[in-house]
Amino acid sequence: MERLQKVIAESGMTSRRKAEGLITSGKVKVDGKVITELGFKVSDNNEIVVDGVKINKEDKVYYLLNKPRGVITTTNDDKGRKTVIDLISDDKRIYPVGRLDYDTTGVLLLTNDGEFANNMMHPKNEIDKVYIAKINGFLTPKDIIALKNGVIIDNVKTSKARVKVRKVDKDTHTSIVELTIHEGRNHQVKNMFSSLGYEVLKLKRERIAFLDLKGLNSGEYRRLTPKEVSKLYVLLNEKKSSK
């Protein structure tokens, strides 16, 4: 038996917090009866309808994709462009965990586990996301300190980051910089460099937590192993318990 709001969140329909709001507002039925109690527990045999839509419990799946350039990180696109969902052969209703820009490549997780996705994306859980950026120019010591301590984007300061200059090319006047963050704002990495006057020429997400692209060419994907999924849950629980 599991709490109703957890089951709704795990279905991928919405976050747990929004599920709680739907329950208290009387928009959730279990076996035809309106339930407004947040502690209400359900089993696999119960029929759950949320705002008129029936929830179908599926086996949870977790994929790691090496996202190519020129693919949209969404479940569908009204302009007919290829999406990350098009790259994965699975009949289940999966969706990306967070997003990567159209021209950004690298590690992307996809799942049908809504609660897992929300926990992985939430900044408070501080899951490392490691990016490799090719930028124009050379970072000054002052700029490195600024990135580490947080820069202002849209009047909000970013959280502290880790910064490492991997390579400097004086001939092309470019640098390769490793940036580790745990937030996921729209265009965050590009905007962080832009706030200091640098343009990101190429961007790749190299790692999420301990998951990297080893063995995956561009456009290829694999299922996470049960051990990897378990390790991610342990990591998430450790982050929560340390708060």
Listed in sequence order, the residues at least 6 apart from 190 whose beta carbon sits closer than 8 Å to its beta carbon are 101, 200, 203
Q: How far apart are CA 142 and CA 145, in angstroms?
A: 5
**Which of 15, 110, 129 lies closest to 62, judged by CA?**
110
Q: How many CA atoms lie within 13 A of 195 on its CB side?
A: 19
Q: Quick check: helix, strand or coil at residue 235?
A: helix
Identity of residue 59: D
171 is catalytic: no
Type and span of the H or E element at 172: none
Strand 200-208 versus strand 105-111 pairing type: parallel
d(CA 218, CA 68): 5
Rounded to an integer, what distance in angstroms lies between the CA atom of residue 194 and that of residue 208? 23
Return d(Cα 4, Cα 48) in angstroms, integer.
9
Q: In this structure, what token pair is assigned to residue 191? A: 């905007």
**Token pair of 127, please?**
């899951």
| Active-site residue identified among 90, 101, 128, 171 | 101
Cβ contact 42:30 at 8 Å: yes
Active-site amino acid positions: 101
